[in-house]
Structure 1
Amino acid sequence: MNITLASPSLPEAVALIAELDAYQLTLYPPENVFSTDLAALPADAVLFALARDAGGAAVGCAALVLTPAYGELKRMYVRPGQRGRGVARKLLALLEAQAPLRGCRLLALETGPLQPEAIALYQDLGYRLTGPYGDYAEDPLSVFMQKSI
């Protein structure tokens, strides 16, 4: 497994993000799918990690959108056939290692209650339940978590 920082506008990154959007729409209504157009953000505000298998195929991705107050984890996705192999942990490890180099010491994320595996992973990695942050509002289909690094 090879995990590197990459551009979210790479064709394989765009394909992974489209798969993520389609998957989330099977779980939540559109108004509860908080997509972010990473390519529309300034390049220095986004850290995008891409995971490739031994053959070079893209199998997962995650992004960290940097703000003055925190870094928000976005667009976390691992293809179903690659889950359970530590890909998500490696993606997060790279982003968590890079965040302090950019002055970011607090990570935040929003996920949904219908993704218990994701919530368990985040908790296992030290993320703690919290309330809404940024522009988010309290919502029964949102789970908010944070981690200081």
Structure 2
Amino acid sequence: MNDKITVSKTNNENIDFVNLVAALDTGLWACYPELKTNYWGNNIIELNSNVVIIYLDNKAVACGCFKKQDENTIEIKRMFVSPEARGLGLAKRILQELELWAKELGYGISVLETLYKQKEAIGLYQKVGYIIVENYEPYVGLENSICMQKQI
């Protein structure tokens, strides 16, 4: 692969992150319109200084972020790889970057939520060490949610 990959740590006000998240939301709601009312509020990212963007040949193609859940735990949010960049291992790379960053900040546990229909995402998360756990707030009682956890 001759493509140049660069990783950038930034915040959620970065226009490339904003655009990638808009593409993520568009794709999710197109696939799962019936879930929008149950999940939309859980996807709003307040000011967040823990955003990673991957650029492929200077084009933003993948992103993710984390937010503090408690003193020892972060929650992975807004994982996305644009369709033209899938299959290059970028989702795994985003996860690694986020986990390393969280570990450097003193966190020991990473959690995340995904939809049970997102089989590829669940497979990736399990491949890198996440295990399925009971749903945590605000996903308790939402049968479409799969919550996962990993020691980092």
Residue 150 of structure 2 is matched in structure 1 by 147
Letter paired with 2:27: Y
Which residue number in structure 2 is paired with residue 36 of structure 1?
Answer: 44
Residues 133-142 or 121-130, more deviating: 133-142
Aligned to 1:16: 20
Provide the rounded CA distance (Å) in 2 between the counterparts of 1:97 and 1:69.
14
Matched, 1:123 2:126: yes
Displacement after TM superposition at 1:14 (Å): 0.5
Bigger Cα displacement from structure 2, 130-139 vs 78-87:
130-139
What is the alpha-carbon root mean square deviation over aligned residues?
Answer: 1.4
Q: Tell me the residue number matched to 2:68.
A: 66
More off after superposition, 10-19 vs 134-143: 134-143
SS of 1:65's partner is strand
Identity value in percent: 31
Distance in 2, matches of 1:22 and 1:114, equals 16
Q: Compute the displacement of 1:102 (Å).
A: 1.1
- Where does structure 1 differ by over 3 angstroms across 4 or more consecutive aligned residues? none
Q: TM (normalized to structure 1)? A: 0.90
- Give 1:69 deviation, angstroms: 4.1
Between the two proteins, the alignment pairs up a number of residues equal to: 143
* Partner Cα distance (1:24, 1:123) in 2: 21
The one-letter amino acid paired with 2:63 is: C
* Structure 1: gaps (5+ residues): none
Q: CA shift at 1:137, angstroms?
A: 1.1
Aligned with 1:76: secondary structure?
Answer: strand
